[in-house]
Structure 1
Amino acid sequence: MSKRSERCPICGKAIVAAHAPFCSAACRDRDLIRWLDEDYRVPLKPEDDGDG
């Protein structure tokens, strides 16, 4: 595993197994709030119009 993946994506502290991939419940909740507030988005692929 790389060093980057051993760090919390929110604050950069070492991850804790109970909250993986985060370091704490606070960072886990902060990440959830960012998803719910639509701060994160999954990119969409352009749809094939079928004319092709």
Structure 2
Amino acid sequence: MVTKVDCPTCKKTVVWNEQAKFRPFCSERCKLIDLGDWAEENHKISQPIQATDALSEDMLDALEDQFLQNNSFFTDAK
């Protein structure tokens, strides 16, 4: 099954696969437009995140491990 999403900027249909380099955006241009909107504070989180539990060291370590697994930019030597 092919997953398709609408580009958040221009609403063009984007096939969600490894060849879609800028997904969920259709192009680098649309990605940069969205980034600019965030930088100008046109997009905001509607309300503060309500944390009921304090973060323990174990929870922070697990979050860091998960982040590093999903963001190889920070771990790959170039």
CA positional deviation for 1:21: 0.4
Alpha-carbon RMSD across the aligned residues, in angstroms, is 2.6
1:29 and 2:28 aligned = no
Paired-residue identity, %: 35
Q: Which runs of 4+ in 1 moved over 3 A?
A: none
Aligned-partner SS, 2:14 = coil
| Matched residue, 1:43 | 46
> What count of residue pairs does the alignment treat as equivalent?
45
- Identify the structure with the greater strand proportion: 2
Aligned-partner SS, 1:26 = helix
CA deviation vs aligned residue, 1:19-40 (integer Å, no higher than 9, x gap): 0000000000000000000000
TM-score, normalised via structure 1 length: 0.69
What amino acid maps onto 1:37 in structure 2?
E
* Structure with more relative contact order (C-alpha pairs < 8 Å, separation 6 or more): 1
Q: Please list every run of 5 or more consecutive structure 1 residues that lacks an aligned counterpart in the other structure.
A: 48-52
TM-score, normalised via structure 2 length: 0.48
Q: Please list every run of 5 or more consecutive structure 2 residues that lacks an aligned counterpart in the other structure.
A: 51-78
CA positional deviation for 1:43: 1.5
